[in-house]
Amino acid sequence: MLTARPAWSVALAAAVTTLCWTPMALAEYATPPANLLKVLKAPPPPAPSIDPTGQRLLLTTVQTYPSITRVAQPYLKLAGVRLEPKNRSRHDTPGGYGIPSCVADFTVVDIASGRQIRVPLPADACAGMALWSPDGQRFAFQNVVADSVQLWVGDAATGQVRQMPGVRLNPIFGSTVQWLDGGRHLLVKLVPARQGAAPSDHGVPSGPDVQESLGATGQSSTYETRDTLTSAYDEKRFAYYGQSQLAVVDAGSGKVREIGAPQLFNGISAAPDGVHVLTETIRPPFSHAVTYQRFAYDVDVLDLDSGKRLQIASLPLAERVPIRGVPEGPRDFDWRATEPATLVWAEALDKGDWNVSVPQRDRVLMLKAPFTAKPREIARTTQRFNGIAWGERPELAFLDEYDENRHWRQTRIVDVDKPMQAGRLLWDLSSDELYGDPGNFVYRRLPNGALVVREEDGQVFLRGQGASAQGDRPFLDRLDLRTLKSERLFRSGTDAYDQFLGFTAVPGRFLSWHQSVIDPPNAFVRELGARDGAARAGEAQYASSTTALTRLEDPTPEVRQIQKRLVTYKRADGVDLSFTLYTPPGYTEGQRVPAILYAYPADFANAEQAAQVSGSQQTFTRLAPYRLMLLAGYAIIDNASFPIVGDPKSAYDTYLEQLEANARAAVDKAVELGVVDRNRIGVTGHSHGALMTANLIAHTDLFRAGVATSGSYNKTFTPFGFQNERRSVWQAQDVYLKASPYFYADKLKLPLLLVHGEDDANPGTEPFQSRKFYQAIRGNGGTTRLVMLPHEPHWYTALESNEQLVAEMLAWFDRYVKNAPAEKAAAKR
């Protein structure tokens, strides 16, 4: 009996045939079937942000994907920064993973009345994220246009925005815009008005790139070598485009007051008094071995009223910082939030090297205005100093330290004015701990802009993800500073995912960001009141007077037909694991369908933390590119636990064995559930997950085919460590070789699709990794396909590139997984 094929099946078959047999030399951008494309292009939920006074909520919706035209804009690679010279905008995010997203919409919501105002953005705007003023009356944002990066200021009450005339921002090193005086002024970095023309080499190099090392030892992490300078011409361009003019802009009148002369300002930070500014000024020589973060720089305090500056420290070029270590000398400068102008910083006592055994690793110092006295030591830390959270009272601060060797963190309550007192131990736990994580402090923005831990009657507030064996259940706690005991004020229910956003202007009220599998994220006003009698002791929800503040609609109702569930199981050695199992629309229980496993291996110091469940099944389902395969009839074994467990110094000795054990346990469980067809399973992963994918295809028979995106396949090209592997290739050559599927290309006979961005700047995953791996597989007679996406960084940005990715993935899995010959699969297994 013949049955009609579903419409999506016919469309997919046509797409697969067209894509798979298009000659590579004639390739153009492909598009997936219409039902997948509609979901791919759907707008994301907005990001919520409460103003510091708790009166208004700003909803920010970013553009889903920019066009390839925008992504293809010319840019310069300057010592770890990608910059578009025509307008001085950043062509990458701070982590180097993609161009910044443009804001498509700002909406201001009055929390008391619920009234919403859509902010009228300029035509063809490419706005950045907004920054609330401390008084909550204004918000500022950058706007990228053809020839500059503009500064715009919005009125929170009316939603009206206006451009600050004549302001051309220079965002090359960040710290571009910050509020002063509670919201009356802004401190900005400008493109110097009288800078002159950019340097030019007229297309002719002035000489070779020369580097030398004169016998000193020292490793460079791959994270410090992204887009380094390569010539004297690069150095000139770095000095030219890096120069900024500091200025103070009146947010009301738009008047601009320049401060001092242009410099290579990196970080800048205004003191609570709004007069003193901490500046980090980069100076030559400019290294060709590391990025600008390791360049020599001066730390000064600038007086905005007088224009005078006072030097605090002068740090040398740091080309040989130990991997996972810190530079020697002063670092991690910060202002004390409870004083007008007091600096705090740390200095290493172990030469910045975690391999060195010492009684204390760091000391912490403090220096008050006018910054002419000798700094006073206020603490020493057994492990690496990790920052101070300031309380609202001068005698209250929370000092953090971190042990790289043990994956351990510790927090003490200290009074920095009484340095002889050790302080009270607040937390002492593994940094990998999820179930016992106490959460993070809830902060309050003071009228002067300083950020402090919110305190009421000797109690502070903590917000956390609330990880549990049933998934994340976000919470709000109140910690008594006298007893150090916490009381749970709010916890998300088991049928939704509810996150604390912040307190409102009305005492006892807060906003939560509520979503469920079928309900899109929306803001709710909640009141701390009577406990929910149905909740268990210690897990009470304060649910009285719960009111929806926003009513955002579902842009993709067809996705709600997808079902998902948390699945727990054990690895062969007893380690507890989990994954989220998604089933396609129209799935009937007991039906076996083709499946795709997605994972990203994570490193853990012990099995107990590795076994903890993270994530939630109650979040609003959105489909990343690989999850779009659900709409083509696949099940997704999503975010499968892939822990690499062991001493951080040697865990990768058993990397391959643990990869296979993780994969086998996940596949066996998915098959045991009666959902997945064992003979039709594919695997995919990105970055470190791509390395996993290639190794599973090379060393196991669990999968029919794989799709690896933006991976690193020959780890000898990251010779001083990768992930949590700390040994160099010369110390652990066998580990590097075994982890590298490149050296097993002759054994890799299962189909493997390789996708990579041509402009990937992520350290260790340079584009040549995929090109060379493809050549190795092809040369050894393997089945493979290489797709290099023009202009794309580590995470693919353009709409056209993501359409191509989805179309390629669908065609590959349909051809080699869903429609693979059954008899071959049966014979193999």
Q: Which residues are catalytic?
A: 687, 760, 794
Q: Would you put residue 116 in left (φ > 0), alpha (ψ -120 to 50) or beta?
A: beta
State the greatest distance between any 2 C-alpha atoms of the chain, in Å, as a whole number.
Answer: 92
Here the tokens at position 193 are: 């008005």
Give Cβ neighbours of residue 601 (< 8 Å, ≥ 6 apart): 642, 643, 644, 659, 662, 688, 689, 692, 723
In sequence order, the β-bridge partners of residue 461 are: 478
Q: Identity (one letter) of the amino acid at 272?
A: P
Q: In this structure, are strands 643-645 and 705-709 parallel, antiparallel, or unpaired?
A: unpaired
- Which candidate, 139, 148, 147, 124, places its Cα nearest to that of 57? 139
| Sequence-ordered alpha helix ranges (H) in 21-127 | 34-40, 68-71
Q: What is the DSSP string of 123-146?
A: TT--B---EE-TTSSEEEEEEE-S
- Which candidate, 139, 98, 97, 106, places its Cα nearest to that of 125? 106
Question: 553 burial class (0-12, 13-18, 19+ CB within 10 angstroms)?
Answer: exposed
Give the position of tokens 């109650």.
618
In sequence order, the β-bridge partners of residue 194 are: none
Rounded distance between C-alpha atoms, residue 568 and residue 562, angstroms:
20
Give the position of tokens 């594919």.
682
C-alpha distances in angstroms, 29 versus 514, 590, 756, 805, 809? 38, 38, 15, 10, 14
Rounded distance between C-alpha atoms, residue 616 and residue 521, angstroms:
14
Instruction: Answer yes or no: are the C-beta atoms of 376 and 388 closer than 8 Å.
Output: no
HEC-encoded secondary structure of 49-73: EECCCCCEEEEEEECCCCCHHHHCC
Rounded distance between C-alpha atoms, residue 565 and residue 757, angstroms:
33
Here the tokens at position 779 are: 């040369």
Instruction: Answer yes or no: are the C-beta atoms of 682 and 817 closer than 8 Å.
Output: yes
Here the tokens at position 328 are: 């020697």
Q: Identity (one letter) of the amino acid at 582?
A: Y
Give the position of tokens 């009074």.
415
Give the position of tokens 């959270």.
389
Instruction: Answer yes or no: are the C-beta atoms of 95 and 81 closer than 8 Å.
Output: no
Rounded distance between C-alpha atoms, residue 464 and residue 498, angstroms:
11
Question: 250 burial class (0-12, 13-18, 19+ CB within 10 angstroms)?
Answer: middle
Helix (H, G, I), strand (E, B) or coil at 86: coil
Rounded distance between C-alpha atoms, residue 634 and residue 593, angstroms:
6
Instruction: Answer yes or no: are the C-beta atoms of 326 and 348 closer than 8 Å.
Output: yes
CB count in 10 Å sphere of residue 182 = 18
- Which candidate, 783, 788, 780, places its Cα nearest to that of 805? 788
